[in-house]
Amino acid sequence: MGWDEGTGRYFARSFENHGFYRHCEVAVGGRVWTLSGETESARIGLSEDGRRQTSPGSGGPKDVWLPLCDRVATRK
């Protein structure tokens, strides 16, 4: 994750061991991050204390929201 000076936007990249590479633009609105990529998208909600992330179970290509999985991550 980082900031792209050229576009003035946040981004996220992932690399997997079997060759997949993903690049997403990240929009931050309050406590919600929206990741938009060519083949996948996600919305991540952050708790007020910053210790918990929730993903509402949707994803898919840019601007297409499909059922995916519900995910909750908590920092101890």
Give 30's DSSP letter: T
Q: What is the domain extent for residue 41?
A: 2-74
Q: Distance between CA atoms of 19 and 30, rounded to whole angstroms? A: 34
pTM greater than 0.95 (yes/no): no
Closest CA to 31 of 42, 44, 41: 44
Number of folded domains in the chain?
1
Give the position of tokens 């938009």. 36
Closest CA to 46 of 61, 34, 58: 34
* pLDDT single digits (tens) 1-50: 999 999 999 999 989 898 888 899 999 999 999 888 887 888 888 999 98
